[in-house]
Structures are given as C-alpha cells and as structure tokens.
C-alpha cells in the first residue's frame, strides 16, 4: 500500500533519510547570491515604494499569503522579467516525489513556479507573515527534488512577504543544497535591492 505524505508535513531529516539530501556550506556552490548589483535608479525608487506599501499594510493587520504575493512578489517577478518569454509562470502546480521501493509518495502544490522550455527554474513558496521562513524550507526543497531534469540546478525562494531566503539544489550523484542569508524588509536599508539583484543573477544563469 502506497503511503501519501503531504509536502507541508515533510522535514529536513526526512528528506536527508529518504532522498540522501545534503546541505553544503561551500561558498562556490551558490555564487549567485554572493554579489548583487542594481544599476537603474528607477528600480530602486520602485522597490522603495514596494517596501513602503508593505510596511503600511502590516501596520493594520498581518498580511496573508495571497496579499504578500500581490504586494511584494509580483513586482519582483515583473522587474526581473519572469513574466516575459522565454519564461512563463504557473501557480498552484501539483508535484510529487516517489520512493517506489518504500511505497511512499510525497505530494504537494507549488505556490509559484517559473519555467523556461519545460525546465523547472524557480520555486517560490510564500507563507503568511505570522510564520517563520524555516517552516517553508523543507517544503520548498521537497518540491525542488521533484524536478525531473537532473542536469540543471534548481533555484528556490521562500518568503513570508517581509523575509526572504534563496535556495539552490543540484541533483547529480548526491542531491546537495545551499541557503542564502536571510533578507528582511524590517531593516533600515531596503534589502529588496539585494533580493532583486540575486533574482537577476539567477535569471542570467538560467538564460
């Protein structure tokens, strides 16, 4: 009998045991998040407005997932060019990872999936502002492991609207992943500049 496991209930220990997933801290593994540059002053002004809109909204009440995607994620995806060819965006995409010999299937749905020529490039798992990002990391990694194209890196981003962590997964012989530092809108500096810079680095690699 096949056991169905929902991705939101999966932890890092499970992924390490069942899929051999390993964390790497090698600096050269995730060079895309080491340097980030914005050249256009117009982009900085726009990101300042996005941050201001977000901070204004959270003064009223916690921002739920759909609103966080609309207020923060959508402008970022637009600025980096993920709404235009050769990329396209899917939402609520069903995925599953099978371990046939042990009769287990991990199932879940991806919040936002950016694709290019059928290659899975960017998985975004957004959470309400009341949740820690660390609860979303195992879920995002489970989705990334379902990518059928073993020869390409898969990049991820988890966010609750105010905080952001990037992920990178390589699935060659042993699946390895790395995490970026955590960026937040609650700093005096607008760290959306860095988030957009990293997204642009990832887009350049994938293009």
d(CA 34, CA 195): 11
The rounded distance, in Å, linking the Cα atoms of 178 and 180 is 7
Which domains, and CATH codes, for the chain? 23-93+109-206 (3.90.1570)
The answer, yes or no, to whether residue 1 has pLDDT greater than 50, is: no
Examine the pLDDT at 204 and tell me if it is beyond 60.
yes
The larger pLDDT score, comparing residue 94 to residue 40, is at 40
Strand partners, 183: 164
- Closest among 146, 126, 121, 132 to 207, alpha carbons compared: 121
The pLDDT of residue 9 is 59
| Tokens 């005096």 sit on residue | 188
């Amino acid at each position: 009998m096949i056991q169905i496991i929902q991705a939101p209930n999966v932890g890092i220990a499970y992924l390490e045991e069942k899929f051999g997933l390993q964390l790497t801290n090698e600096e050269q593994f995730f060079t895309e998040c080491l340097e980030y540059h914005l050249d256009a002053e117009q982009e900085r002004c726009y990101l300042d407005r996005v941050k201001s809109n977000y901070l204004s909204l959270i003064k009223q009440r916690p921002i739920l997932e759909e609103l966080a995607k609309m207020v923060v994620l959508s402008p970022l995806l637009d600025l980096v060019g993920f709404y235009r060819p050769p990329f396209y965006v899917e939402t609520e995409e069903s995925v599953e990872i099978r371990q046939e010999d042990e009769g287990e299937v991990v199932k879940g749905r991806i919040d936002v999936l950016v694709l290019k020529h059928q290659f899975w490039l960017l998985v975004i798992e957004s959470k309400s502002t009341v949740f820690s990002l660390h609860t979303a990391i195992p879920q995002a990694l489970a989705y990334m492991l379902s990518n059928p194209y073993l020869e390409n890196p898969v990049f991820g981003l988890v966010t609750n609207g105010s905080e952001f962590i990037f992920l990178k997964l390589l699935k060659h012989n042993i699946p390895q992943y790395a995490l970026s530092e955590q960026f937040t809108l609650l700093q005096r500096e607008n760290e959306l500049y860095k988030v957009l810079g990293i997204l642009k680095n990832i887009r350049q690699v994938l293009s």
